[in-house]
Amino acid sequence: MTIMMLRLGYKYQKFQDRLATCVVYFLTFLTVLPLFLVVGYIVLNGFRHFSLDLLIKNPAPVGEAGGGVLNGIIGSVIIIVIAALMGIPIGVLGGVYLAEAKESRFKHILRIAVEILQGIPSIVIGIVVYLLIVLPMRGFSALAGGVALAIIMLPVIVISTEESLRLVPHELKEAGIALGVPGWRVSLFVVLRTGLGGVISGILLSLSRIAGETAPLLFTVLGSQFFSLKITQPMAALPLQIFNYSISPYPEWHSIGFAVSFLLLIFILTINIMTRTVIEKMSYKRR
Amino acid sequence: MKEDGMKESFIIQVRGLFAYYGRNQVLKNINLNIEENKITAIIGPSGCGKTTLIRCFNRLFEMAPDSSSSGSILYKDNDIALHDPIDLRREIGMVFQRANPFPTMHIYNNVLAGYHLNGRHLKKSDADRIVEETLKKAALWDEVRDKLFQSPQRLSGGQQQRLCIARTIAVCPKVILLDEPCAALDPISTYRIEELMLTLKKDYTIVIVTHNMQQAARVSDYTAFLMLGNLIEFGLTNQIFTSPKNKRTEEYITGRFG
């Protein structure tokens, strides 16, 4: 009797275990389902319309077939480079400050500010940059777009830098200090150097985040049909081209929109793969 | 202890030192003298303030949040509180409990870290010479001469600890503080480090914190016994281990507690 009850109890436990496993698998499936739907849809529709012309030609005038998005590729690269030149140094130094400086009221406020900044919708940042740069400069420009994207990437870099530097063992820092090295040199050449893998992967993630931003660019870069290298002028950018082609009434433009989406997806995927590699290769491993 | 006329040979003199973490008193009125070119061991049960005491010597203690201290420590007859801490730490080097070579530098650069991190560039010939001489002094040269440009993390724990000693002596300090340098090492590595200390004694003053009483007895000239932040007894190692004056010292070294 008792043995039978034990056996029943055991079977019930086993059933519970199976059930829990099924639920977890199902929820995992639900989580990745949208990813596969979106990526699959873009790959299916985008790859079909993908061609070499897309990469080496500028957009065709309305009514003409063909054309590419070379101006958007170059424009996106220029805008991202502008953003990176501003966002990376400020973000990394801010992260070093938060991780290394003594606790103070200023540091406390700074940390809260960074967290708030991270939560601000990108379109709001676009409007602010529009008011602060586009209006005074009397015109949309790639520069303004770069500033907007720099503001968006800033909190991502600050937070990831701070977190990777906090993982650097305290003993290494003490080793530097005990050698008679000034604190700021230890922060830069020991702590930042040791945590560099994490810092770089944070930078790459922030780049992939801003690569697809559209809303702030609408207010700042505006977009352009033409090829331009002038950073004080409106410029084309891939996300803007996706936006414009997709809301157009022409089926051919829709397909170009998908093809450009596919291109952007590849771009972001490449950055993410690079990030993984950096994390694996450079991250500090404890013995 | 020596008479007053020999005062010059005390490289570090501790005068009425109190130290606190927040409101917690960790050192209570410590008075002791460290003699030049001798090995002074600091022993005592866990939490007695041994590490805190030597971290006061190179002013690493004051870096800890909430720390404060009173009293004075004289280094070469000058109060260290008036000394630039950066310069002081170049004169008083430190080796930590866990070997902590810089993982981002190869062995060669680890030895020269004290120069490189301070932005001092050495001529290649000078750098090569310093690395070789220092690693020889640290009794590590024969083991690493063929892998100077490899990561220090491939070395054994004992080798890493000797690399840390090399890194410390490369910048030519006068005093070396060792904070339980053998705590994580096997007996053979420990033996090698002890041998190394005895040879280094010629050129440096050594202060070693240790849990291991045999180690203190084997290598040190003087021994200080600390308990709960008080300096219970300080004197020649021989005397402390053979005829301790204080009952608590006797109980500790005979293993009755601690």
**Is B100 in contact with A169 (Cβ distance < 8 A)?**
yes
Residue A5 burial by Cβ neighbours in a 10 Å radius (0-12, 13-18, 19+): exposed
**Contact A180/B at CB under 8 A:** yes
- Mean pLDDT over A246-251 rounds to 88
What's the rounded Cα separation, in Å, for the pair A72 and A85? 20
Residue from the list B98, B103, B114 with its beta carbon closest to the beta carbon of A179 = B114
Determine, yes or no, domain membership for A122: yes
Give the pLDDT confidence score for residue A33 in this predicted structure.
Answer: 96
What's the rounded Cα separation, in Å, for the pair A77 and A72? 8
Q: Identify all chain B residues contacting A196, using CB atoms and an 8 Å cutoff.
A: 104
**Is A180 in contact with B98 (Cβ distance < 8 A)?**
no
Show the domain range for A254.
Answer: 53-286
A282 pLDDT above the threshold of 80: no
pLDDT in tens, A114-124: 999 999 999 99
**Is B86 in contact with A180 (Cβ distance < 8 A)?**
yes
**Contact A174/B at CB under 8 A:** yes
Give the pLDDT confidence score for residue A217 in this predicted structure.
Answer: 94
Least confident of A166-170, A262-266, B183-187: B183-187
Residues comprising chain B, all counted: 258
Phi-psi region at B180: left, alpha or beta (left = phi > 0; alpha = psi -120 to 50): left
Q: Taking all residues of chain A, what is their mean pLDDT, rounded to a whole number?
A: 91
Determine, yes or no, domain membership for A45: no
pLDDT in tens, A126-143: 999 999 999 999 999 999
Residue A95's domain is classified under what CATH number?
A: 1.10.3720.10
- Does residue A97 contact residue A134 with C-beta atoms inside 8 Å? no
Give the pLDDT confidence score for residue A66 in this predicted structure.
Answer: 76
- Mean pLDDT over B199-212 rounds to 93
Residue B176 burial by Cβ neighbours in a 10 Å radius (0-12, 13-18, 19+): buried
Determine, yes or no, domain membership for A207: yes
Give the pLDDT confidence score for residue B117 in this predicted structure.
Answer: 94
Give the pLDDT confidence score for residue A280 in this predicted structure.
Answer: 80
Q: Identify all chain B residues contacting A179, using CB atoms and an 8 Å cutoff.
A: 89-90, 93, 113-114, 117-118, 167-168, 171
Q: To 10 degrees, the CA torsion angle through B227, B228, B231, B237?
A: 20
Strand order in the sheet with B205-209: B78-79, B67-75, B10-21, B24-35, B230-236, B222-227, B39-43, B205-209, B175-179, B92-95
What's the rounded Cα separation, in Å, for the pair A32 and A20? 19
The pair of three-digit structure tokens given for residue B99, joined into one six-digit string: 């070997």
Give the pLDDT confidence score for residue A1 in this predicted structure.
Answer: 66
pLDDT in tens, B122-146: 999 999 999 999 999 999 999 999 9
* A192: closest CA of chain B, how far (Å): 11
How many CA atoms does the CB half-sphere of A50 hold within 13 Å?
15
Determine, yes or no, domain membership for A100: yes
Give the pLDDT confidence score for residue A129 in this predicted structure.
Answer: 96
Residue A215 burial by Cβ neighbours in a 10 Å radius (0-12, 13-18, 19+): middle
Nearest one of A113, A124, A118 to A148, comparing CA atoms: A124
Query: Which residues lie closer than 8 Å to A107 by C-beta, 6 or more apart?
Result: A97, A98, A101
* A95: closest CA of chain B, how far (Å): 20
Determine, yes or no, domain membership for A14: no
pLDDT in tens, A29-45: 999 999 999 999 999 98
Q: What is the pTM of this model?
A: 0.84
Nearest CA in chain B to A102: B65
DSSP code string of A108-157: HHHHHHHHHHHHS-HHHHHHHHIIIIITTTTS--HHHHHHHHHHHHHHHH
Determine, yes or no, domain membership for A173: yes
Share of chain A above pLDDT 90, in %: 71
Helix (H/G/I), strand (E/B), else coil: A65: coil
Tally the domains of chain A: 1
Give the pLDDT confidence score for residue A284 in this predicted structure.
Answer: 61
Give the pLDDT confidence score for residue B5 in this predicted structure.
Answer: 46
- Mean pLDDT over A85-107 rounds to 95
Measured CA to CA in angstroms, residue A63 lies from A59, A67, A252 at distances of: 11, 11, 10
**Is B93 in contact with A179 (Cβ distance < 8 A)?**
yes
Give the pLDDT confidence score for residue B200 in this predicted structure.
Answer: 93
Listed by number, the residues of chain A in 152-171 with a beta carbon closer than 8 Å to a beta carbon of chain B are 169, 171
**Is B104 in contact with A194 (Cβ distance < 8 A)?**
yes
Q: Identify all chain A residues contacting B109, using CB atoms and an 8 Å cutoff.
A: none
The position carrying tokens 């090995």 is: B39
The pair of three-digit structure tokens given for residue A277, joined into one six-digit string: 């590699």
- Mean pLDDT over B167-185 rounds to 93
**Is A180 in contact with B60 (Cβ distance < 8 A)?**
no
A52 pLDDT above the threshold of 90: no
The pair of three-digit structure tokens given for residue A285, joined into one six-digit string: 């491993």
Query: Which residues lie closer than 8 Å to B98 by C-beta, 6 or more apart?
Result: A171, B184
Query: Which residues lie closer than 8 Å to A219 by C-beta, 6 or more apart?
Result: A123, A126, A127, A129, A130, A134, A148
The position carrying tokens 């829990």 is: A20
Determine, yes or no, domain membership for A9: no
B2 pLDDT above the threshold of 60: no
- B8: pLDDT confidence band, cut at 50, 70 and 90? low
ipTM associated with this complex: 0.89
**Contact A193/B at CB under 8 A:** yes
- Does residue B13 contact residue B57 with C-beta atoms inside 8 Å? no
A286 pLDDT above the threshold of 60: no
Beta strands B175-179 and B230-236, pairing class: unpaired
Determine, yes or no, domain membership for A39: no
Give the pLDDT confidence score for residue B68 in this predicted structure.
Answer: 93
DSSP code string of B75-131: ETTEEGGGS-HHHHHHHEEEE-SS----TTS-HHHHHTHHHHTTT----HHHHHHHH
